Each structure stands twice: as structure tokens, then as C-alpha cells.
A and B are shown apart, each in its own frame.
Chain A
Amino acid sequence: MGIYIVKRILISILIVFLVSIFAKSLIHLLPGDPARMAMGYEAKEEDVEQLRIKMNLDKPITTQYIIWVKGLFRGDMGMSVLYNRPNRDIFAERLPRSIAIGLPALLLSVPFAIFFGIISAIKRGTLIDQIMTFFITLGLGTPVFWLGILGIYVFAIWLKILPIQGFVSPFADFGGYIHKAILPVCCMSVAMVAGVTRQTRTNMLESINQDYVRTARAYGISENKIQFKYALKNALIPVITIIGLQMRVIIGGSLLIERVFNIPGIGSLLVAAINNRDYFVIQDAVLFISLFTVGVNLIVDILYGFIDPRIRLGQKRMV
């Protein structure tokens, strides 16, 4: 087990290292000059040159990379050109807002999705299963930003029961938060419910076909007990992995949902940074997002190793 954990941690560090190189090289790949972008097009060339030196842009890329990483270890994430504030403050201010939308969506969708997935697998081939499969396909194929707009039209403009846009912190005004966050959270949940339902259904079907289920049947154990006690237990293990994978959906979705509902979170920060070529925010955001997903996956892998001995013994490779 110890070797397994150390191996996973080393691979995670390698991945974050590779992503950090990519994030830093973006500054050279993306068109436009960061210093010029910051000063505006009317600025004098000497002033721009001075800022360039201040931003360390005159140094070779490897030196820039080392300066950046050193700063990160000291907790200094650099300055945003667009907001003219330290990135650390911007991230600290915006991250809770993204979490306030993403986390409820995750917590809300997973129980429903597992329930739907089990029903759909047990009733395989029946009308209920077909209806659910249809809704899964529909849920995965609906563009989340369009769903948000549709929701705004129906609930805010037509029925006038919800506000159009905006965000209130749950700690400042919980009622107002619920009122404003319910629509974005629901929109984000749709794709997640569909994805997790499909996965649970597949897992459940797989474990229903396992040898131990057949053996249990041969012993004459009742069908209900087989399905809920033996099959379900094994089908639920991969759900941890699925929740880990859903982090990608949440982060990607926050990019779109935050734009539709005008929520000043990490997603809208990244979009603003891209549109304004705010390189120092882009590189930090990319590294930060990757660090987050890698961290979640690491925790998932380790948990998985504890729960399922086949994984840490290397008999079964998880996707």
C-alpha cells in the first residue's frame, strides 16, 4: 500500500510539473505583448520597455519559469494586469463563489444519479429504462449555457419567480443566495446527473453479470438481496472515481454558467483573462485548475486503493 501511494504521488507531481511548463509557455504561444496590453496602445515605447523589465519579460523563458515557481512557493502568484491586484487576492475572492455553485450541484446530483442508475439497471430493457436512457442522452446533449438562458427565460422573464442574474454570498444572505443560485446550480446538475446515472447503470449491469452473483443465485438467495447486498455494494465502489471525474465537468461548466448568470467566479475570471490577454492570471488559473483535478484524482486513487485491493495489487487498471 505504501509503495502504491508513493507511486501515485510521484506521478501527480510529474503531471503538475508538465502542466506548469505548458502554462508558462502560453505567454509565448499566445499572440500579443503583455506589457503593451497593460499600458495600452498610446503608451510610449520606453514606458512599455520599463514595464517589460518589471514583469521579467526581458529574461529568457527558463529564468521566467524559475522566478514564477519560486514565487508560487512563497505564496506570491504574481499581479493581474487587468485588475491591477495580486492574483492571490483575486483567486481568494472568487474561488468561494465558484464553490458555492459547484459544490451544491455535485451534492445534489450524485444521490439522484445513483438512484436513477440503479433503477435503470435493475429494470433493464423495460419502458422505465428506455425513458431514462432517453433522458440521459438528452441531458448529456443539452448545451449548459443554452439551458441557463432557457431557464432565465422561463423562470425569470416569463414566470417572474426568480431573478435574472447575479450572486449573493451564502454567508451574507442565505435566502438571497438560494434565490439566486438555484437556477445555475440546477443547470449545472443536469449534465452531471445524466453522466453519473449512465456510469452507475453500466457499473451495476457489469456487477450483476459477475460470477459471485451467479453463485449467490445458485445458493438460492433471494433476487432482492442479491441485487442490493452483493451487486450494489460492488457497483458503488467506482462511484468515487466518477465523482472525481465530475470535477472536470464542474470546472468546465463554471466557465459557461458563470458567464450566463453573471457570477464573478473563477470561470468568468479565466474568460476575462483570455479575452484581455491577462497572461499572469491565465498561467496561474491553468496551473491551479490542474492542481485541483490532480489533487482530487490522487485522493480518489488512494481511497480506491484502500477500498478495493485489486487496484493496489495492480490486477485491474482503472480508467
Chain B
Amino acid sequence: MNTIKSEKMIEHEIVKERQRWQKWKELNEKTRVFFGRGILAKVSFVIVVFFIIVAIFCPLLTPYTPYQQSLKDALKGPSANHWLGTDNLGRDVMTRLMYGARISIITGLLSCFWSALIGMTLGLIAGYFGGFVGGFIMRMSDAQLSIPPLILVVVLAPILGGTILGISICIGVSAVPSYVRMINGKVLSLREEDYITAASLVGQTEAKIMIKHLLPNCFATLIVMFTMSVSIAIMIEAALAYIGVGITPPTPAWGSMIADGYNYLISHPHLAILPGLCLMALVVSLSVVGDGLRDALDPRLRGIL
């Protein structure tokens, strides 16, 4: 009796150990795929991490605040006190760039959160129920797709005002249709799986099937879409701020820094060019990281996203 039990326990241990090993190996494989895309992926990863660190710790990294003006120091070149010089109101350019990273990253993440939340819910409903409700949701997203996202955001932005929350909701809403389509397609294929039929046969409610069975299977797609759209959201945020309908100045958004710097292009070109360089570095690296994540998590999405 005793020996049988211990044998079972050993077997159990072995199975558990094997599962752990399997998981570790999978993770290892994913990391390998992620970083195996050459030097570009590694550099991009470092750049993204760098911007995130700067965004989190910017108050510790600089003695100034992004709003601190000093008109007698206006439009100065690089010096020991101001490493990248000052802008037309005597604000430290480097400080504003650092806080700009914070604004960009927060807005980007927040807007993707909104679009993921709304898009996932609508996509699940459209895919699972189909019929009239599904058709209605899909036609609505078709209608939204007929307006280019930037135009839609520009039109919606004044409604919610120039705060980070308002702008992120506008950008988030503009990206909803692509999430709806993606999740809808995924759910349509998942619906035919046997375990969904089984779940509904044993009498599970529709809400439970959607949340417990369909949702987890959409997660990989969702994570990939999320990473890929953060860079687009950051770009749209900057474009909005550049046009003058984005996050209201004096909040240090890179887009409005470019627009302000444009007025001093002849005498102080770095005021417009530096924020754009930061923006480009962040957006490009984020999209390379997104590509890597896609290849690691859901390679079938290659070519679609």
C-alpha cells in the first residue's frame, strides 16, 4: 500500500517536473525567437527599455521641471547647466524631452488599453453571436474605417478636451475597428472547435463560454495587436499635438515641441529636430519589438499585422 502511494507520488512529481521543464523550454524558445531577429531587435529592445526608464525616473534625472521658465536664458545653446540648450521660453530642452517620453508612453499605452477593451468586447460579441448584432457591429466598424484614423481623431479630440485621458480615449476609439475585425475573425474560427461545442452542451452560459473559453484563446493575438498599435498611437498623439488639437501646452508633448520649434528652425534647428528624433526612435523600436513579439507569440499573424 505504502509503496504504491509513493510510486504514484513519484510519478506525479515527474509529471510536474516535466511540465515545468516544458514551460521553461517554451519560454526559452520564445525569448530565442524574439532576440533571434538580429542586432536590430536587440538594439530596439534596449531603446524601448531606455525610454521607459527615462519616462519613469525623469524627475530624478533632471533638476528642472518642464514648466520652469527663465526668459533671460531663452534660446541658449548647449551649456553645462542646460545640456541641450533652452527653448523660446527658457525651459530646459532635455527636461522637456524626458517628460515628453513620459507623456507619449502613457498616452500610447492608455489609448491601446481603451481600444483593446472596446474592440475585444465588440469583437467577441460580433463573432460569437453573429447574425444581426454581429452584422451591425461589423457594418459600424466598416463605416468607421471609411474615415482615415487621423481625421477621426482630429475631429473627436476637441470633444473630450486636451487632457491625456481625453486624447487617449479618442485615439483608442479610432483604432477599435481593427481590433474588432481581428478578434471577430479569431472567434469565428474558435467557435467551430470541439471544446466550445462541449462547453455549451454541458450547459455553460454564453457569457461564461465567452469569458472563460474564447477570451483566453484570443490573448496571444491581443497582446501582439496591443504592442503593434502602441507605436501607431504614439505617432497619432504626436501628430495631434503638432496640429494643435492634442494635449494642450505647456504639457511637454513631443508633437507640440516640434510645432513650437518650427518657428525657430532657421536659428535653432535642434528645437524641432530633437523631439522628432526621439519620436522616431521610440516608434521604430516599438514596432520592431512588436514584430519580434508577434513572431514569438503568434507567428501565424505574420503578414496580417
CB distance from B177 to the nearest CB of A (A): 11
A172 within 8 A of B: no
Q: How far is the CB of A296 from chain B (nearest CB, A)?
A: 10
Is B101 an interface position by the 8 A CB rule?
Answer: no
Known: A11-B139, A137-B287, A153-B265. Is A143-B235 also a contact (CB below 8 A)?
yes
149-166 of chain A: CB within 8 A of chain B: 149-150, 152-153, 157
Residue A138 interfacial (CB < 8 Å): yes
- Chain B residues near A157: list those with CB within 8 A: 265-266, 269
- Is the pair A259, B243 in contact by a Cβ cutoff of 8 Å? yes
B147 CB to closest chain A CB (Å) equals: 5
When C-beta atoms are compared, the residue in chain B nearest to A249 turns out to be B148
Residues of chain A within 8 A of B90, CB atoms compared: none
Contacts of B181 in A (CB 8 A): 319
Q: Is the CB–CB distance between B262 and A289 below 8 Å?
A: no
B26 on the A face (CB < 8 A) = no
Residue of A149, A270, A293 with most partner-chain B CB within 10 A: A149
A293 x B146 contact (CB < 8 A): yes
A143 contacts across to B, CB distance below 8 A: 235, 238-239, 242, 258, 276, 279-280, 283
- A90: CB under 8 A from chain B? no
| Residues of chain B lying within 8 A (CB to CB) of residue A297 | 146
Answer yes or no: A108 CB below 8 A from chain B CBs. Answer: no
Of chain A, the residue at the smallest CB distance from B231 is A141
A290–B303 CB distance below 8 A? no
- In Å, the complex CA distance between A29 and B150 comes to 18
B288: interface (CB < 8 Å) = yes
User: Contact string, A264-275, partner B, CB cutoff 8 A, digits 1/0?
Assistant: 000000110011
Q: Are A150 and B276 in contact (CB under 8 A)?
A: yes
Main secondary structure of the interface of A (DSSP, over half): helix
Identify which of B140, B243, B244 gathers the most chain A CB atoms within 10 Å of its CB.
B243
Q: Within 8 Å of chain A (Cβ to Cβ): is B130?
A: no
Q: CB distance A142 to B266 under 8 Å?
A: no
B255-305 at interface with A (beta carbon < 8 Å): 258, 262, 265-266, 269, 272-273, 275-276, 279-280, 283-284, 287-288, 291, 303-304
Q: Among the listed stretches B8-16, B61-69, B151-159, which one makes contact with chain A, having 4 or more residues with CB under 8 Å of it?
A: B151-159
Give, as a whole number of angstroms, the nearest-CB distance from A136 to chain B.
10
| CB of A134 closer than 8 Å to a CB of B | yes
Shortest Cβ distance from B138 into chain A, in angstroms?
Answer: 10
B302 CB to nearest chain A CB (Å): 8
Note all chain A residues with C-beta closer than 8 A to B276: 143, 146, 149-150
Within 8 Å by CB of B139, from A14, A251, A252, A319, lies A14
B272 touches A255 (CB 8 A): no
Whether A15 is near chain B, meaning CB under 8 Å from some CB there, is: yes
Taking CB atoms, residues of chain B closer than 8 Å to A277 are: 158
CB-CB under 8 A from A206, the residues of chain B are 303
A145 to B243, CA, bound (A): 10
Question: Does the CB pair B242–A153 fall under 8 Å?
Answer: no
The answer for the CA separation of A30 and B288 in the assembled complex, in Å, is 37
Contact of B147 among A145, A202, A289 (CB under 8 A): A289
Q: Is residue A130 contacting chain B, with contact meaning CB distance below 8 A?
A: yes
- In the complex, chain A residues whose CB is within 8 Å of the CB of B134: none
Task: Report which residue of B142, B161, B304 has the largest number of chain A beta carbons within 10 angstroms of its beta carbon.
Answer: B142
Q: Are A31 and B159 in contact (CB under 8 A)?
A: yes
User: How many whole Å from A274's CB to the nearest CB in chain B?
Assistant: 6
The answer to whether B148 touches A15 (Cβ under 8 A) is no
Please encode chain A, from 115 to 140, with 1 for each CB lying within 8 Å of some chain B CB and 0 for all others.
00000000000000010001001101
CA distance A244 to B20 in the complex (A): 49
CA distance A161 to B303 in the complex (A): 41
Q: Is B245 an interface residue (CB 8 A)?
A: yes
Given contacts A255-B150, A286-B147, A290-B143, 12 further A-B contacts (CB under 8 A): A15-B142, A15-B146, A31-B161, A137-B288, A143-B242, A145-B239, A149-B262, A149-B276, A256-B239, A256-B242, A289-B147, A293-B147
Q: List 8 A-B contacts (CB under 8 A).
A: A11-B142, A143-B242, A146-B272, A271-B245, A274-B155, A274-B245, A277-B158, A286-B147
